[in-house]
């Protein structure tokens, strides 16, 4: 860079970018300011550079979202072991629930009427739970603000 | 640096790193893979980053950039699609004017050299200082201003011829 020798009448070139970015020394800033006072061409470039910087800064060059990166961060081993863990846990829960339901349905100690009442209560709860979960799932899929952090 | 601390900081760098990788690889999916691999690499050995040598951002972007360079080297000719430099974007619900402006910008960027695109993304999109840019690109800080200025003037010209 030869800005030390640069005269105020010479076009300031790349110093305009440094000026826009706040990366110049005080002496360089003064040189650019003085030059732009008298040079319409450099003044226009300066305005264009500011607009350009603002435009690129506001552009959507990547729209992935932090949640997605959080998921992506985990390496494949972590993902696989986590999936296996969940699978085993859910399978175990389902097996226990299945044994309980079969035992309940085929039990001779509980009267049929009582069985029907209990089935109605648990069936109702399960239906409500399904309805809420379905609603949440639809909202999550269609919510365009889900990645916005407040 | 501890793994969970690094994890917190890296999450915030994801989009910037992705934008840089898109500009280098010309493809949003490959860019996602590159950022993912860089995350895994960084988190597997968090001690590889020494906070005394500088901030995490340039260090991580250097990891992403090196990985992108490796991917480019492994590619066969014709794999790079320079017209596909944009992320899929905000979708049909986005404001049309903004989408069109961004598309014009992405097209103009695609006509610059890879080095110029990196410069623009690192400074104007990620807001890195000249010293940090020099650190990422492994160049001397003194050359950042002139290269960046040339990149901006080239982008301005491309946008001017487009709009």
Q: Which residues on B lie below 8 Å from A64 (Cβ)?
A: 14-15, 18, 32, 87
If you average pLDDT over residues B109-130, what whole number do you get?
A: 93
Label residue B96 exposed, middle or buried (CB < 10 Å: 0-12, 13-18, 19+).
Answer: exposed
Contact A72 B35 (CB under 8 A): yes
Residue B55 lies in a domain: yes
> Does residue B121 share a domain with residue B73?
no
Q: Could you give the CA distance from residue B102 to residue B107 in angstroms, rounded to a whole number?
A: 9
Contact B39 A48 (CB under 8 A): no
Contact A64 B87 (CB under 8 A): yes
> Does residue B130 share a domain with residue B76?
no
> Does residue B73 share a domain with residue B1?
yes
Residue to substitute from A22, A31, A61, interface B, most B β-carbons within 10 A: A61
Q: What is the ipTM of this complex?
A: 0.76
Residue B28 lies in a domain: yes
All residues at 6 or more sequence positions from B22 whose CB lies less than 8 Å from its CB, including other chains = A61, A62, B28, B31, B85, B86, B87
Shortest alpha-carbon distance between residue A96 and chain B (Å): 36
Of all residues in chain B, the one with the smallest CA distance to A59 is B102
Residue B7 lies in a domain: yes
At A87, the pLDDT band (50, 70, 90 cuts) reads very high
If you average pLDDT over residues B75-104, what whole number do you get?
A: 61
Give the residue among B17, B20, B29 at the shortest CA–CA distance from B79.
B29
Which CATH number is B105's domain given? Answer: 1.10.10.10
At A96, the pLDDT band (50, 70, 90 cuts) reads very high
Number of domains, chain B: 2
All residues at 6 or more sequence positions from B10 whose CB lies less than 8 Å from its CB, including other chains = A69, A73, B39, B42, B43, B56, B60
- Dihedral, CA atoms, B143, B148, B151, B156, nearest 10 degrees? -150
Please say if the pLDDT value at position A118 is more than 70.
Answer: yes
Helices (runs of H) and strands (runs of E) counted in chain B:
7, 0
> Does residue B64 share a domain with residue B14?
yes
> Does residue B122 share a domain with residue B74?
no
As a whole number, the mean pLDDT across chain B is 84
pLDDT of residue A147: 47
Last residue of a domain, one of B31, B48, B81: B81
> Does residue B7 share a domain with residue B65?
yes
> Does residue B74 share a domain with residue B28?
yes
> Does residue B116 share a domain with residue B49?
no
Residue B116 lies in a domain: yes
> Does residue B76 share a domain with residue B12?
yes
Last residue of a domain, one of B51, B81, B111: B81
Of all residues in chain A, the one with the smallest CA distance to B100 is A59
At B79, the pLDDT band (50, 70, 90 cuts) reads low
Give the residue among A32, A31, A15, A57 at the shortest CA–CA distance from B149.
A15
Residue B156 lies in a domain: yes
Residue B87 lies in a domain: no
Last residue of a domain, one of B81, B108, B143: B81
Largest distance between two CA atoms of chain A: 104
Please say if the pLDDT value at position B115 is more than 80.
Answer: yes
Residue B86 lies in a domain: no
Residue B54 lies in a domain: yes
> Does residue B100 share a domain with residue B66?
no
Please say if the pLDDT value at position A52 is more than 50.
Answer: yes
Please say if the pLDDT value at position A144 is more than 60.
Answer: no
Please say if the pLDDT value at position A62 is more than 90.
Answer: no
Q: Could you give the CA distance from residue B32 to residue B29 in angstroms, rounded to a whole number?
A: 5
Contact A21 B87 (CB under 8 A): no
Q: Which residue has the tokens 């986005």?
A: B94
Q: Which residues on B lie below 8 Å from A48 (Cβ)?
A: 156
Do A18 and A41 form a contact (C-beta atoms < 8 A)? no
pLDDT of residue B92: 53
Contact A64 B14 (CB under 8 A): yes
Task: Find how far residue A136's CA is from the centre of its chain.
Answer: 19
Task: Return the minimum-mean-pLDDT range out of B35-39, B56-60, B72-76, B124-128.
Answer: B72-76
pLDDT of residue B50: 85
Of all residues in chain A, the one with the smallest CA distance to B21 is A62
> Does residue B77 share a domain with residue B45?
yes
pLDDT of residue B127: 92
Q: What is the DSSP letter of B125?
A: I
Which CATH number is B40's domain given? Answer: 1.10.1740.10
Residues of A with CB under 8 A from a CB of B: 1, 13-18, 21, 23, 45, 48-49, 52-53, 55-57, 59-66, 68-70, 72-73, 75, 144
> Does residue B72 share a domain with residue B139?
no
All residues at 6 or more sequence positions from B20 whose CB lies less than 8 Å from its CB, including other chains = B61, B64, B65, B68, B118, B121, B122, B126
Of residues A1, A49, A56, nearest to B105 (C-beta)? A56
Please say if the pLDDT value at position A148 is more than 90.
Answer: no
Query: Could you list the residue range(s) of the whole structural domain that residue B30 is in?
Result: 1-81
Of all residues in chain A, the one with the smallest CA distance to B106 is A61
Do A60 and B102 form a contact (C-beta atoms < 8 A)? yes
């Amino acid at each position: 860079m030869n800005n030390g020798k640069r005269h105020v009448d010479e076009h300031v070139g790349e110093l305009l970018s440094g000026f826009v970015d706040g990366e110049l020394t005080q002496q360089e800033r003064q040189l650019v300011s003085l030059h732009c006072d008298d040079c319409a061409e450099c003044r226009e470039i300066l305005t264009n550079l500011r607009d350009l910087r603002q435009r690129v800064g506001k552009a959507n060059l990547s729209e992935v979202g932090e949640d997605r990166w959080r998921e992506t961060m985990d390496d494949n081993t972590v993902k696989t072991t986590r999936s296996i863990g969940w699978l085993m846990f859910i399978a175990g829960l389902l097996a226990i629930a299945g044994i309980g339901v079969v035992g309940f349905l085929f039990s001779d100690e509980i009267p049929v009427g009582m069985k029907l009442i209990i089935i109605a209560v648990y069936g109702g709860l399960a239906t409500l739970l399904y309805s809420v979960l379905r609603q949440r799932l639809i909202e999550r899929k269609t919510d365009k603000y889900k990645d916005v952090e407040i | 640096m501890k793994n969970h601390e690094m994890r917190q900081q890296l999450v915030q760098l994801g989009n910037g790193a992705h934008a840089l990788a898109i500009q280098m690889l010309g493809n949003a999916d490959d860019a996602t893979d590159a950022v993912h691999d860089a995350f895994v690499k960084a988190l597997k050995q968090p001690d590889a980053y020494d906070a005394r040598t500088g901030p995490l951002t340039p260090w991580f972007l250097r990891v992403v950039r090196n990985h992108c360079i490796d991917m480019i080297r492994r590619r066969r000719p014709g794999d790079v699609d320079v017209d596909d430099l944009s992320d899929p974007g905000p979708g049909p619900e986005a404001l049309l004017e903004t989408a069109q402006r961004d598309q014009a910008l992405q097209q103009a960027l695609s006509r610059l050299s890879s080095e110029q695109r990196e410069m623009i993304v690192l400074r104007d999109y990620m807001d890195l200082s000249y010293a940090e840019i020099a650190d990422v690109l492994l160049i001397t800080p003194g050359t950042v201003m002139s290269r960046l200025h040339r990149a901006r003037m080239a982008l301005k010209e491309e946008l001017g011829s487009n709009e």
